[in-house]
Structure formats: C-alpha cells, structure tokens
Amino acid sequence: MELNLTGKVVLVTGAGGSLGGATARGFADHGCRVALLDANEAGVRDAARGIADGGGRALAVAADVGSRPAVAAALDRVEAEWSAPDILVNAAGVANRVDFLDETDEDWDRVVGANLKGTWLCSQLAARRMIGAGIAGAIVNFGSVTSELVDANQVVYGATKGGVRTLTKGMAIALAPHGIRVNAVGPATIVTDLNREYLEAHPEFRARRLLRTPLGRLGAPEDVVNGVLYLASDASGFVTGTTLFMDAGRLAQNTVPEAAA
C-alpha cells in the first residue's frame, strides 16, 4: 500500500510531546515537510532538531493551540516557509486524573481549552488556508477510547474526547464539499515518556489495563502513528468522519474479566 505522502506540508500540534513528536517523525520519514507546533518551545525545538539531524525537513513553531492569534501566526509562518498545509494533525492535548468531586474550574478550562477548543480552532484556521490554496487536504484528530469507556477519575478528559469524536463528524460533513477529509484516531493506553514512570510505579494499574485488553499488551507510539499516516494519506481517500480506534480490542470486549473488576 502506497501512502503517497512525499512532499506534503504537514502541521502537527502537540509535537513537543512524545506521541506528537513521534507522529511528526513518522511524516518526515515519508518525505513530508513537517511543521511542529507546541506551547513547549524547548520541546518542539528539540523534536524538530532531531528530525533535521536525521535528514528530514522540519520547522519548529511555539504556539498555544487555544489562542487564535497564535495559531494564525503559526500558519502564516508555515505558509511563508513552504505553503498552506496539506495535512493537519491535532495531537495537542492534556490529560488529568482527578476524582470528579475534586475537579476545579481550572481543570475544566485547561483540559477543554487544549483538547476541544484547540482541535476546533486549529482545524478551522488550517481548513481556511487549505480552501484558499485549493488544497483537498486531510485533518486527523486525536481522540481516545475514553470517548466510549467512562473513567470516574477522568470525567472532563473523557468529555473532551467525546467532543472530539463528534467534532470530527461535524467537520467531515462541513468540509467534504471542499475535498477535505476529517478523521480521528482513538488510542487506548499508549506507553509514552509521560506515563512510563507512572505505569512502572503502579503495577496494579498496569495489570488492570492489561486484563481489559484482549491482545494482552499496551500500545506503543508507532501503533498510533501508523494509523495517523493511513488516515492522512491517499490510501484512505474514501474515508471521512470516522474514528479509528487503536485499542487492542478493548472496546470489543463486552465483559470485564473478574480479576480486573
């Protein structure tokens, strides 16, 4: 299967993090010009430098995905350097693990602002650039299995990922007349630099996750990256408005093993 991504201009948000950075590297490895956007300026510069050191073409842009002026300025820079983006990947997001009764207004604003508003805002502004340039592009959003599986300690986070799934459907319909496809990926537990230490320190949590996972392993960044590349490429040219869950069968499992209860 040919992905036909060579030469595409790709904007990846959240690229200063391990999963967003891995996504950016995946596109660079397929011959794309990749703009890496993140509020973490040091992180995004390091990620872009790593791609460049490996022979790829990368541009680091520091911006808050929840700020319209900042995102507009970032897109201006990408266009000045290369062109309007062919592909947008909304990987930026934050998670919280707090009991529902203890969540605060600040928790709500932070998580909703990054996960839901950021996805909406970056998509709207990037789509306008695509349409203006006559690009039949692709947008890939980062959802989660928590849009379907409720976690009492991630109520706000789960709500934002449910919102991303619905937003993906709505944007797909709205942008279809312009030839722009919009899809999402829905990972289960993926081991990254951000959660590896937690998983190692809480073996009981890891064990419960594995018991709920039919394939018997937690995910790796490349499991998600491969799905993103597919949804962004011509190989998925007849796919829009859907969420591709990378969950090792977790959503398909109708019963929870007694040991995991």
Q: Tokens at residue 219, please?
A: 């995910």
Contact 189, 202 (CB under 8 A): no
Q: Tokens at residue 110, please?
A: 């932070």
Annotated catalytic residue 198:
no
Residue 16 φ/ψ, nearest 5 degrees: -80, -10
Cα dihedral value 178, 138, 58, 228, nearest 10: 180
Q: Please count the CA atoms within 13 angstroms of the CA of 258 that sit on its side-chain side.
A: 0
Q: Which residues contact 144 (CB under 8 A, 6 or more apart)?
A: 157, 158, 161, 164, 186, 187, 188
Q: Which residues make beta-bridge pairs with 87?
A: 10, 138
Other beta carbons within 10 Å of 37:
32
Q: Is 44 exposed, middle or buried (0-12, 13-18, 19+ CB in 10 A)?
A: buried
- Kindly name the residue from 27, 142, 157, 245 that is annotated as catalytic: 157
The angle that helices 18-29 and 221-232 make with each other, rounded to 10 degrees, is 50
| Enzyme catalytic residues | 157
